[in-house]
A and B are shown apart, each in its own frame.
Chain A
């Protein structure tokens, strides 16, 4: 095993996918000559050629729809929408075609499509480029939604997704690309059904996904030194949600904080909190807390962006108030 960056893990996953199956091809904005906005497909154009590494015009609705069509037509497309911010233009194709055709056609068609996109804020690129909307996608029945937070998941989830007969959406938090992590080769191919306890604890459960995992772990470290043992649960998969792992943790700790970079109202954290309440109500020793983004367009200046986003300090504060400290 060794340390690699999240970016390199994504690239390794993509390369293995392209090498292992001739039907696999990569399509998206600047994935070819430019090598990918986050350099996840650097060198691929030379290695695999323009037929299988396709730069697209800036036409999100069309090239995502084309991905759906190609999947229906027998190919195994991987579509890269540069960021979730631009995927809004393709929501119609995603909701009304990708997620719906199988069910609506009475099971006649399946759409083996993988769509990858960056998500999240933290790089001061202002409101229109800083959305965290995985929660919207997790609302849509008919697709699978993944949030790889670790290097191993970044490396393994794409390959596992390519085994799925139905559409899979992978959200890679933009902040993670340059971060290094330990790649656990033995875990490949990764499972796509279960959440993971990244740090065991007994007093409180910190439940999160994607880019916020590292903030939760940092908070857990701070809490450890105050004698509070926090368990950190990485959801990994937003749909279908593995609520049983979450409940096992909450039943042990009796307290839960859900951390989600989406805006608080109607956030994915709200769904997790509701499911905890519905099933583990009698195990709760306090209300489920949520740490989400302040409900404003994410501002450009760093001090405002930091104030708007979930932070380890906010998580620690929530734990303190829950524990009556």
Chain B
């Protein structure tokens, strides 16, 4: 187990994970209250990945995500208010309310969103990296995808092209063991996802996705590799989602005790214990954190509640760039 070097960094990692956890819990609550509609895919249990990985990228780098992207957007820096407003579908949402839970976008932070078709983001990430390479920009594109995506042709086509053209893209597989309702072993012949990268001569590594420090260390190393122009790299974060695939799911595909077993490896609980062991964390510290986070969430909710609906007349606005007439 890697050691926490200094307290502030330890606090920052814990605070971020808690921030995601509480935000997602609030979402579940608001969903059942009918405030959030449509699909909602929660990130609870996988927080260590986003918290450990995303800060390794510079503000210049690009992030391409999936429909389970609340945590990524929060850590990337999009304020909680616009995210909550987007979940409400309000005009002050980060995509003006048009996308909802699966489609967060933030151009200022080069967050190319939630792209909700499984595997759909991979080719896009390869393209972003191609543009960087052709314009000699030392930037990295992070491409998050789930274990389900490795079954899509786009996964294999993207890895091949990225390797062929030595493109600065970092493939980040969040393997939470289930593609919606199908366990990894029932949809992959080769379940060691990192080994799939060998077929395309892409260096790859499996990482304990429940250990935020391990995620951070492995990701920092991979980012340096890619930023040095040595071509793509793949990390397989082995993690687990404690909640259903989405808010419509009876979880028939896994057993209760399996979930319970994984909860013993809750990344937040584990990290708290480590901080306490290294005397970096007291109950009071934790309470302060939780209070601050709760306040942030409350403010985000009121920001969303106070937001207005986009006027009907704007239905076709921004279908094309303004120079061209809409429609």
Asked whether the complex places CB atoms of A and B closer than 8 A, the reply is yes
State A29–B152 Cα separation when bound (angstroms).
12
A129-B116 contact, Cβ under 8 Å, with A58-B179, A295-B316, A304-B312: yes
- The answer, yes or no, to whether A301 is at the interface (CB within 8 Å) is yes
**CA distance in complex: A297, B252 (Å):** 33
Q: Are A57 and B252 in contact (CB under 8 A)?
A: no
* CB-based contact A34/B252 at 8 Å: yes
Known contacts A55-B182, A59-B151; decide if A126 and B99 are in contact (CB<8 Å): yes
Q: Among A56, A58, A296, A300, point to the contact of B100 (Cβ < 8 A).
A: A300
Q: Is the CB of A129 within 8 A of B315?
A: no
Tell me if B97 is interfacial: C-beta within 8 Å of chain A: yes
For the complex, give the distance between the alpha carbons of A231 and B256 in Å. 54
Check if A175 is an interface residue, CB within 8 A of chain B.
Answer: no
Name the residue of chain A whose CB is nearest to the CB of B117: A128
CB pair B180–A124 under 8 Å, yes or no, is no
Asked whether B187 lies within 8 Å of A57 as measured between CB atoms, the reply is: yes
Q: Which residues A244-301 have CB closer than 8 A to chain B?
A: 294-297, 299-301
A125 at the interface (CB under 8 A from B): yes
State A126–B115 Cα separation when bound (angstroms).
11
Could you say which of A30, A60, A86, A127 has the most chain B C-beta atoms within 10 Å of its C-beta? Answer: A30
CB 8 Å contact bits of B316-327 with A (1 = contact, 0 = none)? 100100000001
Q: Are B319 and A128 in contact (CB-based, < 8 A)?
A: no
Q: Which residue of B lies closest to A54 (CB)?
A: B186
Across-interface contacts of A304 in B (CB, < 8 A): 89, 97-98, 309-310, 312, 315
Decide: A33 and B253 in contact? CB cutoff 8 A: yes
Q: Which of A35, A59, A61, A297 has the most CB of B within 10 A?
A: A59
Known: A58-B118, A294-B316. A299 touches B98 (CB 8 A): yes
CB distance from B247 to the nearest CB of A (A): 11
Q: Is A303 an interface residue (CB 8 A)?
A: yes
CA distance A30 to B116 in the complex (A): 17
Q: Is the CB of A55 within 8 A of B187?
A: yes
Given known A33-B252, A295-B319, A299-B315, contact A61–B99 (CB-CB < 8 A): no
Please give me the residue from chain A that is nearest to B245 by CB atom: A34
Known: A33-B253, A129-B116. Is A59-B179 also a contact (CB below 8 A)?
no
Residues on the B chain within 8 Å of A57, using CB? 148, 151, 179, 182, 187-188
- A104 at interface, CB cutoff 8 A: no
A62 CA to B102 CA, complexed, in Å: 26
Q: Identify the closest chain A residue to B179 (Cβ).
A: A58
Which residues of B have CB within 8 Å of A294? 315-316
B172 close to A (CB within 8 Å) = no
Asked whether, in the complex, the Cβ of A128 is within 8 Å of the Cβ of B151, the reply is no
CA distance A57 to B147 in the complex (A): 10
List of A residues within 8 angstroms of B149 by Cβ: 58
Proximity bits, A51-94, B CB within 8 Å = 1, else 0? 00001111111100000000000000000000001100100000
CB < 8 Å neighbour of B98 from A61, A86, A301, A307 = A301
Interface residues of B in 164-203 (CB under 8 A from A): 179-183, 186-188
What is the predominant secondary structure among interface residues of chain A facing chain B? loop
Question: A302 contacts the other chain (Cβ, under 8 Å)?
Answer: yes
Residues of B within 8 A of A62 (CB): 153
Asked if residues B253 and A58 are in contact (CB atoms below 8 Å), the reply is: no
Please tell me if the beta carbons of B102 and A296 are within 8 angstroms of each other in the complex.
Answer: no
User: For residue A300, which residues in chain B have a CB less than 8 angstroms away from its CB?
Assistant: 37-38, 89, 97-100, 103
Q: Is residue A308 contacting chain B, with contact meaning CB distance below 8 A?
A: yes
> Whose C-beta in chain A lies nearest to the C-beta of B89?
A301
How far is A124 from B35 in the complex, measured between Cα atoms in Å? 12
How far, in Å, is B303 (CB) from chain A's closest CB?
16
| Distance, CA A297 to CA B181, complexed state (A) | 28
State in angstroms the CA–CA spacing of A59 and B189 once bound together: 13
- Interface residue? A320 (CB, 8 A): no
Q: Is A123 an interface residue (CB 8 A)?
A: yes
Report the separation of the CA atoms of residues A137 and B162 in the bound assembly, to the nearest whole angstrom: 33
Q: Say yes or no: B181 contacts A34, CB within 8 Å.
A: yes
- Minimum distance in angstroms from B153 CB to a CB of chain A: 6
Contact of B97 among A55, A58, A60, A301 (CB under 8 A): A301
Query: Complex Cα distance A267/B71, Å?
Result: 39
Residue in B89, B102, B148, B319 whose CB lies within 8 Å of A58: B148
Contact B252 A128 (CB under 8 A): no
What mask results when residues 130 to 172 of chain B are scored 1 for a CB within 8 Å of chain A, else 0? Answer: 0000000000000000001101110000000000000000000
Q: Which of chain B's residues have a CB closer than 8 A to the CB of A56?
A: 187
> Which residues 24-61 of A have a CB within 8 angstroms of B?
29-30, 32-35, 55-61
- Tell me whether B151 and A58 are in contact (CB under 8 A): yes
Contact with A along B285-321 (1 / 0, CB 8 A): 0000000000000000000000001101001100100
> Which of A35, A55, A295, A308: most chain B CB closer than 10 A?
A55
Q: Is the CB of A58 within 8 A of B187?
A: yes
Nearest-Cβ distance from residue B189 to partner chain A, whole angstroms: 9
Give every chain B residue within 8 A of A299 (Cβ-Cβ): 97-98, 310, 315
Complex contact B89–A55 (CB within 8 A): no
Determine whether the beta carbon of A35 is less than 8 Å from that of B252. yes
Q: Which residues of B contact A301 (CB under 8 A)?
A: 89-90, 97-98, 100, 309-310
B: which residues have CB within 8 A of A? 37-39, 89-90, 97-100, 102-103, 115-120, 148-149, 151-153, 179-183, 186-188, 252-253, 309-310, 312, 315-316, 319, 327
8 contacts between A and B (CB under 8 A): A29-B182, A32-B182, A62-B153, A126-B116, A128-B103, A128-B116, A129-B102, A304-B97
Ranked nearest first, the 5 interchain pairs of A and B with the lowest CB-CB distance are A34-B181, A57-B151, A301-B89, A300-B100, A57-B187
Known: A33-B253, A126-B99, A126-B116. 6 other contacts (CB 8 A): A56-B187, A128-B117, A295-B316, A299-B97, A301-B89, A302-B89
